[in-house]
Structure 1
């Protein structure tokens, strides 16, 4: 049950929020969402399953709702709140706007911090070494010989860090730091030796101190998965002590799947293993050869097993008939017996080499901590061994997954090989899970003190079933489900127009007829966004329409011709000055694009956003569903298209008094059996269906 103190804090926060904001509009759906989140976290619905899945339409104010529902409960129950987002834009909104506002209205003090992964921070030791490096030292620290400008930049960064003018955060440096420089100074878990006094000045260690003390941590889905894959509580607070508010939750399944995937080249791996073999004695000597000799022998033995096996697998796999894209996917994830046998040997050898190098690395760190070796000697050795450790860890993961037998219960792993773009004779081995729900349940749902999964689009075809299948939840497992519609008046303020078209999008003439149709629906409009299914089609149409658009005195802004922010700024300036502005964009413009009021009144969607399963993972997933007697089109393509179509249509109304129309140039929404379900999943626009 919610305690009286939590209820009081929530009520007080809400009253203060009303007083703080001018033109505050009370929203029943927002109040309901606050209450449902708080009651779910308190275990009122299910004390063993404190999970809520909430689809909250545009205009409800879901970010303020979950802050108001979760933070008072956390502060009263000695828990942390971890807010995870998919985009930088939402992180910035939370840290710069929503959380400072909520801190002003809640009657309790709380602290918040933006969490970043270790790779966003420099290593103070590496930076110091790089700043002082000359000659041979530079060759050790840098993969390529640094230019004068590189050295000047490193010296400037070192000076700024030493004087406290920079905190070591890559994003806080005023200019872009080139990747080749950043890789030479980036913090990594292997060289971050906490036993050293200098470690207290490590930028990542300082950031971790802020994380440990903060009540609310804002992270992203990638960092969340990185922490969970490490067991939880390594980067972020422990799951058992955390209330997770996962915003933009529809992105979580893909991020989780990518984190469980792995890839490695064959000849490329052989090449760096040979370099490691050459450096092994140097690393062992730095760790005291008397103590490290047996680990050196084991490491070199592992490398000598790995290199010929990798070449042998390459020779086997080169016999496979690659597609025109240079890819071969193993049907049902099943490998030839000879490859399975090699995979098992490679997994054992990679594990042996990885563990042995880890022991050598630890011995060097131990000697450094005990003062038996100078940091000027140890640091470059540890940086080098850390580089190889990361590669060995990945190699072990690849071959562990490749050697893993398929389960009779769940989906098989997707396994495929790809032509290496840098080396024609080389192949890259890929392995990825098809379904990640069981893993999320294992790492998060079964451990967390409480979870909220939120987004404006979680349902597909008006149902949570597809999302549940993706993330390992069940509509009958005690999880709380809510679908809260947008408070906007779609019937009065917006129309959905489906024109009479000469043909449907799959017809080869469709791209040719688009310019004439688009001119008809752009005429008389001041601010338009046209969403295309592909860059190719968008550019074809733009080329044909550009001269006439300019002749009409309109401005055309095409995605890809400059940065996203520059294109949107140019569009907004046109709208402010009364010029007719037309935006052309692809799928990435259908989400996260905020053009309120007069900035967008005419949205044209050229086709239902069906995704063709082109990646090996998507092909393997479709194959698995077919093997179970299912229909991949109806079970994957239609639900995904439903979500994307709702997201696309959601670009039109962003504020309560916005108005305009959506024009869908795809007749399949009324001519196909699945069309009605897609149409009914859209907001309740006034519908105008045209017939010839």
Structure 2
């Protein structure tokens, strides 16, 4: 939460103290002082007291406060000023990152311990540079002044400096426009529907020629890339039978040039057939990496803007109506400041994408993650054409751009959802490329699961009823979204009222505390209370404070009775919602000649949303409840589904409770609703198979991608990496530490990180161990001048942590699976990976069922080899990279070693020897060059 200024007037930059917080010491530079004569090293509590007395200049207030082990305090956060002066621009949220972004010289530390102290003056320099830049701007100055005055009224600490830099006094005689930045956005307009694409094939030779054309301007020529690109051609040929797509499974080793390799045939097909190819990824980083690669296909930015679009779910984009409502009704100063900074970003953003787009990843940290999410439509409350900002909406613009695009860069989740629910476009794509294919199974699993939990039912209640109980909520209920459409339809009004009345059986605000206190209200909370009781009674607990789960059977009788009552209540809610959806759909037919396009689209969206919640959400919940009323019925469903009860906890704090259902094999619905309607599909990754080289490895890949459920067999392609892993990497298994002895594990991480001189990624299979290791090794690394970043410790979003790690060449990063999957760090910034133990699958109930279904121990081995293979693949990203992979688990079975590339020798050694060899390999001694410099040819030194 941003804090308003505690002082009435801004002070000159040089008179403000500077605060930089490490893990063991804090640097404090008093106002009007230079580093050489006044820098002080304080304990965290002493620094916190000073900061509360005199707001300091600092970088990233939330993380600073966490390191000081206190609450946030008023401060001049340079990142807030940067968000105003340079919105929608990339900058690492560190003093060095600010200096690099602003072109300031970086001081050289005489010793590692001086590093933090020498960064302090950078913050004053950065503040002056940003305010000077603002003073020099002429573009949209009046709008900036109006926005700064809005922020000044909210108490933003930087507002006086900003207004002074903008010379706002010159505009006192004229009204400044204020925060209504949406008025300046261009409008989109409707166009005629696009025809279906043609089905012309592309040929192998023209694909090779097109790839060569794209690589013509100085790009590295890679024979493997051409082989890979042509292996994908069958996916871009016409299919021969309905529901029988041409599917290519393509494994391309790191360094092949996979992205451009599939963009070549995809772009060629799109141009030839005047239709889109959807490129789907799992991580947002890859979405934007693909976007950058597409500059080769569309060198003209204006042409690219019309041919390429990044698509995500609606919840990823800023909602202009939410922004306007928050800005106009912000009772809290910190919320108004958040609105002002988001409005400043709106003035500069490319497409309004808040998650992985050009919104600085650290800005949600500053304004609060929950607050930042409030600027997006995360609950499906869009009112479409009834919105005053509809014609400028970022989401609607991206949907319309996608209709005319040749390349749509989407993500796995959006592809699944739009295939299951119906697309925003009039027709589904016929060609897909699923990159990061090793994540496809997890994405499918999440998309086709059903969760009957407290949070899910509360979300549905909010969607239907909006804000309740006099609370200051902006939630827009169904009545507000629909009432103007049914004013003349008494039957629809009655169905609407029935729906709203029935919705009161859903969990409401405060449901979780009522369950803990034993006072549930209504049938949903009674059912959840019974489920919670059964979980607590039966689930084994290791005292770690994390999620508990138990099988549904045998049922506690109280669960059975509560399920019966809740099913009847859901039936009473489902009926009017379904009928109302049908009534709206009927209007589309009856009033087809009088409805304009925006109204038609609005009615269509509402009808689809109502049907989705009635049939897919409530319908799935009813199916789950009905199965509980008869244990035999639940057993009969076992071939398709896995049901269980769970109490979701984190660090001992309860978050949610409920009844969960997943497909035993989720690729079955994927094959039906996504794959079969398509004509051609590519699923690609560097780790489609587990590296074992067996026929079973390809069979497992086909199982995890849905190929096994399609009429035609998948075509397989594998292109090996061009890298010489035997020369460029080392793999060590440490044999003399106990993996359960946290002191020994921490000592190993510390010694290895110091031996590498940083540039290390520490991976963990449990958050608790990560935090304990961080606590133990942070002081030693700080003393050595090595920045230690940590997921689940730093008050920084994971993607931003990875950005910092990528940008700070000698930093170290601790993380779990999410970090491993998101890291793409070429060069010396990542030269060591340390894994705390063999990453066996988590033995939860869902995995237990799938293990029995998919092959027992062999299934465990496949998943574990894939994780090891994926982690190892982070080490070498380009031809001159070198790296070391260390596993701190002597119990690593030899049968899993095929996860590492052929030719790589895996050595089992003691920690001291691994540390020594790591240091030697990553930091070889420099040999003096004494050879005579005489052999010259063509002006190039060949000696």
TM-score (norm 1): 0.77
Of 488, 498, 506, the residue aligned with 2:733 is: 498
Instruction: Tell me what 2:315 maps to.
Output: 119
d(CA) in 2 for partners of 1:384 and 1:237? 16
Q: Judging changes above 3 Å, is the alpha-carbon distance between structure 1 residues 128 and 645 closer, same or farther for their aligned structure 2 residues? A: closer
Alignment of 1:87-106 (within 5 A): 87-95=283-291, 97-104=292-299
- Structure 2 counterpart of 1:587: 817
Deviation at 1:424, TM superposition (A): 8.7
Q: Give CA deviations for 1:191-232 in whole Å, capped at 9, x if unaligned.
A: 44459997544433222221111111001111111211113x
Aligned partners of 1:401 and 1:431 also within 8 Å: yes
Deviations 1:39-94 (A, max 9, x none): 34326999944001111111001111111122212322343200011111111111
Contact 2:746 2:777 in 1 (8 A): yes
Paired with 2:235 and 2:817, the residues of 1 have a C-alpha distance of 35
Match in the other structure for 2:675: 445
Shift of 1:683: 1.0
Per-residue Cα deviation, 1:270-323 (whole angstroms, up to 9, x for no partner): 986888999999977972474445425643674588785435535654652524
Decide which of 846, 855, 860 is 1:620's aligned counterpart.
Answer: 846
State the Cα distance separating 1:432 from its structure 2 match. 2.9
- The residue number in structure 1 matching 2:874 is 651
Instruction: Say whether 1:512 aligns with 2:709.
Output: no
> In 2, Cα distance between the equivalents of 1:388 and 1:263?
18
1:5 Cα offset (Å): 6.7
Secondary structure at the aligned position of 2:726 is classed as helix
The change in CA–CA distance for 1:288 and 1:245 in structure 2 (over 3 A counts) is: same
Counterpart CA distance in 2 for 1:599 and 1:192 is: 46
1:263 paired to 2:451 = yes
Structure 1 residues 410, 43: closer, same or farther in 2, change over 3 A?
farther
Question: Of 147, 161, 171, which residue of structure 1 is paired with 2:332?
Answer: 147
Equivalent residues of 1:528, 1:604 under 8 A apart: no
For residue 53 of structure 1, the aligned residue among 246, 249, 268 is 249
3-state secondary structure, aligned to 1:223: helix
Does 1:689 pair with 2:907? yes
Are the equivalent residues in 2 in contact too, given 1:53–1:481 (CA < 8 A)? yes
From 628, 639, 664, the equivalent of 1:410 is: 639
Partner deviation per Cα, 1:557-611 (whole Å, 9 max, x = no partner): 1423544566566666764xxxx76544443343342333333444333322123
Q: Which residue of 2 aligns with 1:672?
A: none
User: CA shift at 1:258, angstroms?
Assistant: 1.4
Identify the residue that residue 42 of structure 1 maps to in structure 2.
237
Which of residues 467, 474, 483 in structure 1 aligns to 2:701? 467
Mapping 1:57-68, distance limit 5 Å:
57-68=253-264
Change (3 A) 1:117 1:520: closer
Contact 2:531/2:659 (<8 A) preserved: no
Alignment correspondent of 1:299: 499
- Displacement of 1:116 in angstroms is 2.5
In structure 1, the gaps of 5 or more residues are 139-144, 670-674
2:895 counterpart residue number: 677
The yes-or-no answer on 1:10 pairing with 2:207 is: yes
Q: What is the CA distance between 1:244 and its match in structure 2?
A: 0.3
Q: Which secondary structure state, in structure 1, belongs to the residue aligned with residue 905 of structure 2?
A: strand
Contact 1:303 1:349 in 2 (8 A): no
Q: Distance in 2 between matches of 1:190 and 1:658?
A: 48
The answer to whether residue 545 in structure 2 is matched with residue 313 in structure 1 is: no
Query: Counterparts of 1:522 and 1:280 in 2: how far apart (Å)?
Result: 55
Equivalent position of 2:630 in the other structure: none
> Separation in 1 of the partners of 2:611 and 2:467?
10
The verdict on how the C-alpha distance between 1:465 and 1:668 changes in structure 2, with shifts beyond 3 A counting, is farther
Measure the CA separation in 2 of the matches of 1:567 and 1:159.
Answer: 24
User: In 2, Cα distance between the equivalents of 1:541 and 1:156?
Assistant: 36
Q: Aligned partners of 2:498 and 2:766: how far apart in 1?
A: 52
- Name the stretch that deviates more: 565-574 or 49-58: 565-574
Q: Distance in 2 between matches of 1:571 and 1:347?
A: 49
Q: CA deviation at 1:467?
A: 3.2
- Deviation of 1:100 after TM superposition, in Å, equals 0.9
- Aligned mates of 2:478, 2:825 — CA distance in 1: 57
Q: Cα distance, 1:446 vs. partner? A: 1.0
Q: Secondary structure at the match of 1:416?
A: strand
Counterpart of 2:716? 481
Q: Secondary structure at the match of 1:76?
A: helix
Give the 3 Å change call, closer, same or farther, for CA 342–55 of structure 1 in structure 2: farther
| 2:772 counterpart (515, 540, 545) | 540
Structure 2 residue matching 1:13: 3-state secondary structure: helix
> Paired residue for 1:329?
550
TM-score by length of 2: 0.58
Structure-1 separation of matches of 2:782 and 2:320: 54
1:30-429 equivalences under 5 Å are 30-42=225-237, 48-95=244-291, 97-104=292-299, 111-122=307-318, 146-147=331-332, 150=335, 169-170=353-354, 176=364, 179-180=370-371, 183=374, 186=377, 191-194=382-385, 199-231=390-422, 234-235=423-424, 238-239=427-428, 241-265=429-453, 269=458, 287-288=487-488, 290-292=490-492, 294-296=494-496, 298-299=498-499, 302-303=502-503, 309-310=523-524, 313-314=527-528, 316-317=530-531, 319-322=533-536, 323=539, 324=541, 327-331=548-552, 338=561, 341-342=564-565, 344-355=567-578, 358=581, 394-403=617-626, 405-406=633-634, 407=636, 410-418=639-647, 428-429=658-659
Q: Mean Cα displacement is larger for which, 311-320 or 634-643?
A: 311-320
2:217 is aligned, of 6, 20, 28, to: 20
> Deviation of residue 631 (structure 1)?
6.3
Taking a change above 3 Å as real, the CA distance of residues 223 and 9 of structure 1, as seen in their structure-2 partners, is same
Change (3 A) 1:370 1:327: farther
Is the 2:737–2:745 Cα contact (8 Å) retained in structure 1? no
Distance 2:286 2:210 in 1: 22
Query: Structure 1's 533 and 296: CA in aligned 2 closer, same or farther, altered over 3 A?
Result: closer
Q: Is the 8 A contact 1:277 1:303 kept in 2?
A: no
Q: Flag the 1:332–1:46 CA change in 2: closer, same or farther, 3 A.
A: farther
Deviation at 1:489, TM superposition (A): 0.8
Matched, 1:611 2:611: no
> Are 1:221 and 1:255, in contact at CA under 8 Å, matched by a contact in 2?
yes
Bigger drift between 400-409 and 164-173 goes to: 164-173
For the structure 1 residues 388 and 683, does the alpha-carbon distance in structure 2 shift closer, same or farther, using more than 3 Å as the test?
Answer: same
Separation in 1 of the partners of 2:883 and 2:417? Answer: 42
Counterparts in 2 of 1:130 and 1:288: CA distance versus 1, 3 Å: farther
* Distance change in 2, residues 1:14/1:304 (3 Å): closer
1:472 to partner: Cα distance: 2.4
CA gap 1:349/1:328 in 2 versus in 1, 3 angstroms = farther
Pairwise CA RMSD of aligned residues? Answer: 5.0
Q: How many Å separate the matches in 2 of 1:103 and 1:456?
A: 26
Q: Please say which of residues 601-610 and 119-128 is displaced more in the overlay.
A: 119-128
The one of the two structures with greater contact order (alpha-carbon pairs below 8 A, sep at least 6) is 1
* Contact persistence 1:343–1:403 (CA under 8 A): no
